[in-house]
């Protein structure tokens, strides 16, 4: 079975103390994850080491960075490299979140460079893709998202593409309270898998976890995650509430 993943994206939220308390509350639920299930906390840079020490005794709980830079090292004040993340034992990194694309003008080409560096340092990229409202309303969401995959991922070998996690986030559903229906989510996830299959073959496409990331909450997670091509969620606001996120973890297939 493909990995089923509940990934928390804290974004720029929580003080150190609040983050520690939130992790303590979630971990105290003692959810025994099955072998094919993962829970990942994508926390702000200053909390990576704290979150890692909180989770390292827990089976299948991991910590992710929310970003890294597209250069190996050098005079890039304020940036964090994949090599730095590896040196503190971080195994996952979110790349290409719609907020990074929108506010920091991250291009598909830049994201391809970030992906390469993460893979070079044995960090699993959680690669985000998705369309804004005007594209969805124009009915061209499939070709829009396909281009994001092709321009950022399709230079990878079949061996490396299997190391990627994809998160589909309909941008019109992030933080707006709007959620894609489970039918819309399944339709897009199946399409993404078909695009991967065309390039890399069905067997490889079937191994890649594709998460849904658009206003996942405790009250819709079970329905979304029950879709055959939805392998969990990249969760924003609801991951900041321990009770909500515990319910979301328990909703994994």
Report the number of distinct structural domains present in the chain: 1
Catalytic: 155?
no
Helices within the chain (DSSP H only): 16-27, 48-55, 82-87, 98-103, 108-120, 133-138, 141-153, 158-161, 182-200, 202-205, 221-225, 242-249
107 is in an annotated binding site: no
Q: Residue 56: which CATH number? A: 3.20.20.70
- pLDDT at position 209 is 98
- pLDDT at position 54 is 97
- pLDDT at position 100 is 97
Tell me the pTM.
Answer: 0.96
Report pLDDT digits (tens) over 182-193: 999 999 999 999
Catalytic residue, chosen from 97, 131, 189, 244, is 97
| Residue found by looking up tokens 């080409």 in the block | 109
220 is in an annotated binding site: no
Report pLDDT digits (tens) over 119-170: 999 999 999 999 998 999 899 999 999 999 999 999 999 999 999 999 999 9
226 Cβ partners below 8 Å, 6+ apart? Answer: 182, 253
- pLDDT at position 251 is 98
236 is in an annotated binding site: yes
172 is in an annotated binding site: no
- pLDDT at position 174 is 77
- pLDDT at position 180 is 81
Q: Which residues of the chain have pLDDT under 70?
A: none
Distances (CA, A) of 105 to 37, 110, 241: 33, 10, 30
- pLDDT at position 176 is 73
Catalytic: 169?
yes
Catalytic residue, chosen from 99, 131, 169, 244, is 169
Distance CA 21, CA 121 (A): 30
Which domain covers residue 141, as residue numbers?
4-250
């Amino acid at each position: 079975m493909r990995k089923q993943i509940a990934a928390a994206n804290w974004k720029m939220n929580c003080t150190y103390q609040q983050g520690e308390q939130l992790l303590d509350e979630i971990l105290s639920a003692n959810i025994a994850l099955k072998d094919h299930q993962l829970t990942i906390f994508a926390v702000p840079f200053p909390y990576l080491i704290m979150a890692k020490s909180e989770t390292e005794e827990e089976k299948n709980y991991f910590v992710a960075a929310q970003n890294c830079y597209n250069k190996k090292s050098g005079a890039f004040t304020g940036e964090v490299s994949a090599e730095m993340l590896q040196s503190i034992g971080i195994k996952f990194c979110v790349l290409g979140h719609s907020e990074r694309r929108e506010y920091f003008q991250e291009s598909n080409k830049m994201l391809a460079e970030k992906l390469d560096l993460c893979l070079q340092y044995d960090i699993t990229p959680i690669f985000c893709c998705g369309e804004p409202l005007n594209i969805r309303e124009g009915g061209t969401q499939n070709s829009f998202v396909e281009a994001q995959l092709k321009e950022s991922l399709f230079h990878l070998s079949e061996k490396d593409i299997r190391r990627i996690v994809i998160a589909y986030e309909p941008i019109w559903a992030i933080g707006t309270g709007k959620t894609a229906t489970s039918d819309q989510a399944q339709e897009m996830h199946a399409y993404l898998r078909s695009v991967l299959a065309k390039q890399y073959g069905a067997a490889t496409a079937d191994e890649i976890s594709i998460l849904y990331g658009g206003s996942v909450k405790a009250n819709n997670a079970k329905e979304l995650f029950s879709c055959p091509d939805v392998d969990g969620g990249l969760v924003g606001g609801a991951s900041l509430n321990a009770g909500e996120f515990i319910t979301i973890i328990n909703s994994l297939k």
